[in-house]
Amino acid sequence: MTGVEHVDVLIIGAGLSGIGAACQLRRSCRSKTFAVVEARDAIGGTWDLFRYPGVRSDSDMFTLGFSFRPWSSAKAIADGPAIREYIRDTAREYDLESTIRFGHRVVRASWSSAEARWTVEAERTDTGEVVQLSCSFLFSCTGYYRYDQGHEPPFAGQDEFTGRIVHPQHWPDDLDYAGRRVVVIGSGATAVTLVPAMADQAAHVTMVQRSPSYVLSLPSVDVIADRLRRMLPANAAHSVIRWKNVLLMTLIYQLSKRAPSVMRRLLRKGAAARLPDGYALDTHFNPRYDPWDQRLCFVPDGDLFKAVRGGRASIVTGEIERFISTGLRMTSGQELDADVVITATGLRLLVLGGVQLTVDGVPVDLPGTVAYKGLMISGVPNLALAVGYTNASWTLKCDLIVKYVCRLLNHMDDHGYRVVMPQPPTSGSLRPLIDLQSGYILRSIDQLPKQGSAAPWRVYQNYLRDVYLLRRGPVEDAGVRFGREPVLAAPPPVTDQST
Ligand SMILES: Cc1cc2nc3c(=O)[nH]c(=O)nc-3n(C[C@H](O)[C@H](O)[C@H](O)COP(=O)(O)OP(=O)(O)OC[C@H]3O[C@@H](n4cnc5c(N)ncnc54)[C@H](O)[C@@H]3O)c2cc1C
């Protein structure tokens, strides 16, 4: 193919994962040429897009940050701008800016077995012009949700409301809520962040939730981490703190899964200690489901509880009947006056950044594929996806994935392989890729690849297992085929052996 720029590795996305992937290529695959294609005009992904008041991580930055670049700020739970700066500084330190094509949205990627390469089509967001690039290996670091649209379920009577309705994904610069009555619809991470942050200036903030979530208070400053940072060199301290936090989060998750009633009691006790006596705890903070059946909400230094306790915020649990001109009416008949309503109703899942894949002219049907090691998909050659954890910091898994991809690329070079293609399992049952009952997952689970019942097709969502699988486990196993010649035989069809 003439006239089309070729790189060894093409990374899609310049968020935490894409920048992490590019740094890792610089560190461990020095001979590889690469480029990053980014739809937006900025580095940072999530941490550049979301601008609502108080936007922050709910993971600690020792695990959400990169393993190779210590997090040095005082706060372990950081605000959005600090995370954005950290990602940008990392990109600068690794001299990545010149490798990033901003304003290029990848729409299609076509694998040719005859050429052993991907041809990638990207639309320029300013002119609409379609640009082609080719690569030997495609690395999708596109995150997991749509950037152009959040999940915005329609409510009856929205047009009658005389105030302003805002979705947190598109926060308007000119929204002045000082002294106004604010209603936040939602009970997830975004809602519990927004409520205390807006309560500082608003006349009052009411969080309206259909059903409660588990809310756990964590210290925003990690005193053990601070002590370790004073005692050890930066890299050593970062590594020890990271492991400490991995083990703590693993403990919370495992306790939730193995002894849900114990965890439920602990969470209830933690909330009760921070709320006023006689507060309707079971109505507002005691979910029907077990801890970690859906994502746990973390709040730094109990800020949500403080806002409720201080009377600046309140929680209403129930069904919204409709918007009315002055606010919201609940099915209970209660009316909530509002000048501003924030619909923190969630994200819309999007796999592979919406890129259409074809392999030798045949469109890839993602739900008909099986994930391999949680990072490649059956029947699709020379492609990896950075998909992080849903029960721990996203970056922990992505960090293992990018290191694994470098290991894989080096292994292929050492053995003269040009093609790597995961195979679906030939036995065992297939199941949904993500075992989480959160709304944003359930709404889109049918669009995702499946997972198998055992490694290397099982996605365990467990860092310790993944360290073993991705760092120590063999690169060549029953789940993958390598080829020195460009053309690989088509994989066997995916069948669910359990049916
Ligand atoms: C408000 C909020 C708070 C969060 N807090 C946490 C947290 O505390 N801990 C945690 O673990 N996770 C958290 N997450 C999840 C979070 O998204 C990840 O932690 C992490 O930022 C994802 O990084 P990423 O690079 O994989 O994806 P993203 O940050 O989504 O970046 C993807 C990039 O790819 C680009 N892109 C997508 N499709 C295309 C395409 N077709 N062509 C070109 N470019 C494309 C996007 O423009 C974007 O820049 C949070 C998410 C949100 C929305």
Render pLDDT for 81-125 as a digit per residue (tens, 0 to 9).
999 999 999 999 999 999 999 999 999 999 999 999 999 999 999
Better-predicted residue by pLDDT, 137 or 490: 137
Residue 12 Cβ < 6 Å to ligand 1: yes
Residue 394 Cβ < 6 Å to ligand 1: yes
pLDDT of 4 above 70: yes
CA of 142 to the centre of ligand 1 (A): 7
pLDDT of 1 above 70: no
pLDDT of 490 above 80: no
pLDDT of residue 445: 81
CA of 13 to the centre of ligand 1 (A): 9
Residue 141 Cβ < 6 Å to ligand 1: yes
> Whose C-alpha lies nearest to ligand 1, atom 15?
394
Asked if 169 contacts 347 with a C-beta cutoff of 8 angstroms, the reply is yes
432 in helix, strand or coil? strand
Residue range 159-169, pLDDT digits in tens:
999 999 999 99
Alpha-carbon distance of 94 to 91, in angstroms, equals 5
The average pLDDT across 123-140 equals 97
pLDDT of residue 498: 46
Q: Token pair of 341, please?
A: 């309503």
CA separation (Å) from 374 to 347, 400, 465, 477? 22, 11, 12, 15
> Whose C-alpha lies nearest to ligand 1, atom 16?
46
| 237: phi then psi, degrees, rounded to nearest 5 | -60, -45
Strands (E), 129-180: 130-140, 164-166
pLDDT of 497 above 60: no
Side chain identity at residue 432, one-letter code: P
- Ligand 1 pocket mutation pick from 46, 151, 405, 438 by most atoms within 8 angstroms of CB: 46
pLDDT of 470 above 60: yes
pLDDT of residue 442: 74
* Region class of 95: left (phi > 0), else alpha (psi between -120 and 50), else beta: left
pLDDT of 363 above 90: yes
Alpha-carbon distance of 259 to 266, in angstroms, equals 11
pLDDT of residue 2: 54
> Whose C-alpha lies nearest to ligand 1, atom 4?
57
Alpha-carbon distance of 59 to 53, in angstroms, equals 18
416 in helix, strand or coil? coil
- Report which ligand 1 atom has the smallest distance to the Cα of 389: 11
> Whose C-alpha lies nearest to ligand 1, atom 38?
353
Residue 187 Cβ < 6 Å to ligand 1: no
Residue range 193-251, pLDDT digits in tens:
999 999 999 999 999 999 999 999 999 999 999 999 999 999 999 999 999 999 999 99
Asked if 88 contacts 43 with a C-beta cutoff of 8 angstroms, the reply is yes
pLDDT of 261 above 90: yes
Asked if 160 contacts 324 with a C-beta cutoff of 8 angstroms, the reply is yes
> Whose C-alpha lies nearest to ligand 1, atom 17?
46
- Under the banding of pLDDT at 50, 70 and 90, the label for residue 127 is very high
CA of 387 to the centre of ligand 1 (A): 10
150: CB partners within 8 A, 6+ apart = 167, 168, 169, 170, 343, 345, 346, 347, 348
- Under the banding of pLDDT at 50, 70 and 90, the label for residue 51 is very high
Percent of the chain with pLDDT over 90: 89
Alpha-carbon distance of 215 to 273, in angstroms, equals 13
Radius of gyration of the chain, Cα coordinates, nearest whole angstrom: 24
* Region class of 346: left (phi > 0), else alpha (psi between -120 and 50), else beta: left
Residue 169 Cβ < 6 Å to ligand 1: no
> pTM of the predicted model, to two decimals?
0.94
CA of 232 to the centre of ligand 1 (A): 31
Q: Which residues pair with 372 in a beta bridge?
A: 376
- Ligand 1 pocket mutation pick from 71, 171, 394, 399 by most atoms within 8 angstroms of CB: 394
Distance of CA 9 to the CA centre of its chain: 22
- Under the banding of pLDDT at 50, 70 and 90, the label for residue 494 is low
Asked if 35 contacts 11 with a C-beta cutoff of 8 angstroms, the reply is yes
Length of the chain equals 499
Q: Token pair of 261, please?
A: 């009633």
Residue range 14-44, pLDDT digits in tens:
999 999 999 999 999 999 999 999 999 999 9
Residue 46 Cβ < 6 Å to ligand 1: yes
Considering the chain, what is the average pLDDT of its residues? 94
pLDDT of residue 495: 59
CA of 128 to the centre of ligand 1 (A): 24
CA separation (Å) from 422 to 358, 375, 404? 16, 10, 14
- Ligand 1 pocket mutation pick from 55, 142, 216, 355 by most atoms within 8 angstroms of CB: 142
Residue range 371-425, pLDDT digits in tens:
999 999 999 999 999 999 988 999 999 999 999 999 999 999 999 999 999 999 9
Residue 64 Cβ < 6 Å to ligand 1: yes
Side chain identity at residue 278, one-letter code: G
Residue 105 Cβ < 6 Å to ligand 1: yes
406: CB partners within 8 A, 6+ apart = 24, 25, 27, 28, 29
pLDDT of residue 499: 38
